[in-house]
Every structure is written in C-alpha cells, then in structure tokens.
Chains A and B, each alone.
Chain A
Amino acid sequence: MTRHASALLLLTTACIIPDRDIQFEGGPSNPGAVRILEQPPIPAQWTTWCLDREFEDTEAFCPSVRETTRQSGLVRADDGGDFCVCPDGQRDARAIAQWTIYAEDPDRAGDLAADVLYGAFMVDPDPLSADPSAQVAYQNYLEPCAPGEEIVPRQVTRVPGPAGDEMYTTRVLPSVARNEAPQWAFTLDDAQNDTIDLCNDDNGTALAPGLHNLQFMVTDRPFFRAQREDGGVERLQCGVPDVSVGATYAVINYVFECIDGTLEENVGACECEEVE
C-alpha cells in the first residue's frame, strides 16, 4: 500500500512543472508591430560608459538602436542655406548626402525573422487621399514598396588603442529587457550623383517651391493588392498597408523647404549647378 501511495504521488507530481518562462505560441498571425528606429537623446556620460573598456558590465548604457545620419523632422542643408528649385538642366549643389532608415519587427520563426519589411516614400501625403499610391515618390532613390535589407541588429566596431589594446568606437547592443528583434535598412541613394536632390529630382521631376513633407512608410506585409472580380490581381497599391491581413505600419516624416531658384530675387540665395 505504501508503495502504491508512493507511485501515485510520483504520478501526480511528475508533471507539475513551473509555467514561468514558457510562452505558448498561436493566436494572431501578426503579434508584433513594426516600428522605425531612431536613437533617443543619450547623455554623454552613458556613451562613455558604454565604450570605455575599463568599466565592467556597462553594456546597459549602450544604445540598442543604430545612429542614423539624418534625423527625422525639419531637414536643412548642411551649410544652413536654402534648398532650391533650380532652372532646367541644373541641380541643387546643396543636395544632401544619402541616408539610411532603420526599422524592426519583433516577430520570429525560430531564429529567423517571421516577417519581411517593405517601405515606400510619399511626398506631401494627404491624410484624406482616396489614392495614396499617387503620392509615392523618389523612386529613383528607393525602389518603392520593395523589401528592405535585413541587417544584423548589433553593431560593434573597434580600433587599436594607444596601449595596444582595442577601443570601441561603436557599440550598439540589444536591450536585455526584450528579445533581439530582426532589423531592416532602407537606404536612399543615387548612384549617379551621390546626393539626394529633394527639390529637383523626384524621379526626374522638380517640386513646386514651398514646404514639403517627405513621409516614409514601412509595413510588415506586402503592400495591398486588390482582387479583381474574376479572381485576378489588380495593380499594387503602393503606400497602402494591407490591414486586411493584419499588416502593421509605421511612418516617419522629413520636412523641407524649396525656394524658387528660377526667380531673380533668389539667385543669390541658391546654389544651382549644371548637370553634367
């Protein structure tokens, strides 16, 4: 009887396992939302502690997000001058350097990213537009609605130090507070001129003088494609996230002003140059 009791006790306790740290997958097909990454303000002291090898266990002071060369918001020329719409055959000598936008999505399938991120630029998006794809812009600098480039979230670079040891120059590490999320990069670049001429080269077309809003949208499902009644697929509606299949999206805005360099009164303020 004692043996039977022991056996029963063993049976009843054998499968009591703590559920701490166990997550059951399932439910919504898109649990994690996409977001665009920009470094927050970081005190200089934290940066020092992150990079200085003399201090131990200071990884928590390192940023978890890469530094972008161009922060969103108001975009000005590097020399503080004006961007200009130039006369035909000219481009803006103050055109800015290419830059990269980073985004992440936490969804994983094992060790791999579960989602692919897609991005597109739109200029002067109208919040009430019935056809957002008409505002897709700068296809010459970024293929619209194409996948980004998946990148390694960690970024660590070292250089030889004065004492022969190695010094960190960059150290971007994932936060210990959450799982490392797959990241993607979207780079605006122009193979021809090396710079981004916002006022004169929206896919070969100049913008109207004035203030403009350049919006980047990223989403974790391919952009929407409508089904035709005959079962076929209509054109891609670039710039329209496919919310019907659970897509999430995020946007970021760059605002810039173009003054009219074709006016005599603005010639002195502009730096237009002939296109080679």
Chain B
Amino acid sequence: MNHSGGIVLVGALASAAAGCIIPDTDIDVQPNRTNPGTVRIVQAVPLTQEADDACGLEPGLEVCLVPPFTVVPGLIEVENQAFCVCEGGRDLNALGGFDIYVEDPDVTSEGDPRDDIFGVFLLDAPADAQQVAPFIAYTNFLPSNRPAQRVPLGGAGTYAQPIERPPTNLKSWTLGIETAVDLCNDNNGTALEPGLHSLRIIVTDRPWPFPVELGPQGEPSVEGDGFARDETEDPLVGIPDTVAGASHAAANFVFRCEDEASEAGAAVCNCEEVEG
C-alpha cells in the first residue's frame, strides 16, 4: 500500500463510520403496528363566541372547525312532538335523514384513509350480552357490510384539517335520506313496543370476524401469525375483531315510542296510514 492510497482508505473508512452517526433526535423506532390509529364516532358540540373568536385568530378561519351538525347520540327528543308506534302506518314525526360521523387516522402511503369502517345498530341489548345477533337492528338503514363513505369536506379551513391536528379522514353513513328514519315503526319493517328504547351503534375498523376454528382440545386453531377462521360460517356481526387488532367505538341513542292507540298517544301522535 502506498502512502497516499492508505490515507484515502483510512479517510474513507472514517467517513463511512462517521457517515452513519446520525442524530436520533426526532426518530422513534417502534414495532410494526398493524392498526396504529383507532376509530372514533365524532359529533359537533356547542362552543362559545369567545372560543370561536380564538379559532378565528388562525389565518383563514372565522370559527372553530368541528364535525358537521347532525342528530347526535343521547336522548332523541323533539319538543312538543313524540315518536309513535302507528298501527298499520308510519310516523310523520319520524326523523329526517341524518348522518353518523366517524374518523380513523390511519392512512396509506399516498395519504388516503386506509381502513374501511363498518357499523351496526343493536336495539335494547343488555350491557352483558355476549350473543348480539338477536339485537341487531335497523339494517334497512345501516347495513352491517356497508362501509362508511368519505365526507367531501375540502382541504384547509374545513374539518378535514383542524387546528394542530392531522387530517381527520372524516367518513359517514347517511341514514334514511329518502325514507326518513321511522324508529318506532320500521326496524326492518317491524314496529317496536311502546316505551323507552336504547339504540347502540358499534363501529369498527376491520370487517366483522368469522368464528375462530377450533383445535382438537377446543383451543383456538393457530394459522400463520393469527388464528384460523371458519369462513363457511356467518361473520360475527356486532363483535369487533379485536383478535385481529380491530379498534372500535360505540354511541347510544335513546328514544321513547308512544302508542298511538293510547290516550296519551292520541294527543301527541302524528300517524299516517300506509296503503297496501
């Protein structure tokens, strides 16, 4: 080795060694997470004028950015109106079409929403129900296999890009836009019993799971990195596939159905007979 060649090689090695000393500031090495972001059901909430004014200090904004207004979970009650069970008819006080909004932060490398969001209604399901199939309801308004659709909000200055947050990827289901949502008379064509009812929506960011296949001892059967699924069975609608990493969220609507035929109902109901 001549002298100059040795210097070059030593210099190259030093550069190579130094070249990979990179500062670890702002680098966070994490395990491979298949579903890092969780799904949420979102809604607008009232803000004060002062709060909106504070948001208005942000360039391009006049008010705070919140999800669009819609029928929000909780008690559904309209002043001086009642939802009614209408014998052989429909309720003219029924809710008009409305949206349920969900968001999930996971995106593809192109920045598009990565996860499909599915939802299902459960009617009057006990809190400890392990079999939810008997309580699945209103699939005429929300089919359990229909993913939420992206809401075309636009870009900056809309809820697509709120202050100091990543894009929301807002999606929604629109319920009853053509038919109205007749909660007391149209649970898949069936009327409810008069009284108070609790309607729970469960949403998830993975498809509803197929049952897990069983091994010889009744244990779950392993397949690859997960568990074998029996796709000859019906999927377990209403049960988020947490085994496969699904996230989930829930919200509740509570409403009362008056009986048109009762004395109290006669005073407040607004039923219309349906021909045929």
Binding site for B on A (CB under 8 A): 3-4, 6-8, 10-11, 14-15, 17, 20-33, 35, 38, 40-46, 49, 54-55, 57-58, 60-61, 63-64, 70-74, 106, 124-133, 175-179, 211-213, 215, 217, 224, 226-227, 234, 237, 240-246, 248-253, 255, 257
Contacts and interface: CB of A to CB of B under 8 A. Distances in A.
B83 to A, nearest CB: 12
A175 B48 CA distance: 38
B220 A240 contact: no
Interface stretch (B31-39, B141-149, B259-267): B31-39
B29 A245 contact: no
A129 B247 CA distance: 32
Interface residue range, chain B: 35 or more
Contacts of B164: 28-30, 245-246
B8 A7 contact: yes
B105 A73 contact: no
A244 B55 contact: yes
Interface in B7-30: 8-9, 11-13, 15-17, 19-20, 22, 26-30
Grouping DSSP codes into helix (H, G, I), strand (E, B) and loop, the A interface class, with mixed when no group exceeds half, is: loop
B35 A178 contact: yes
A132 B163 contact: no
Nearest to A76: B196
Contacts of A255: 74-75, 198, 252, 254
B135 to A, nearest CB: 9
Nearest to A62: B242
Given A74-B254, A126-B46, 18 more contacts: A3-B5, A8-B12, A11-B12, A29-B164, A40-B248, A41-B130, A43-B130, A49-B219, A49-B220, A73-B198, A74-B252, A106-B37, A106-B38, A127-B45, A226-B48, A243-B47, A244-B64, A251-B45
A257 B46 contact: no
A5 to B, nearest CB: 10
Given A41-B239, A215-B74, A255-B74, A177 B45 contact: no
A26 to B, nearest CB: 6
A211 B77 contact: yes
Interface string B88-128: 00000000000000010100000000000000001001010
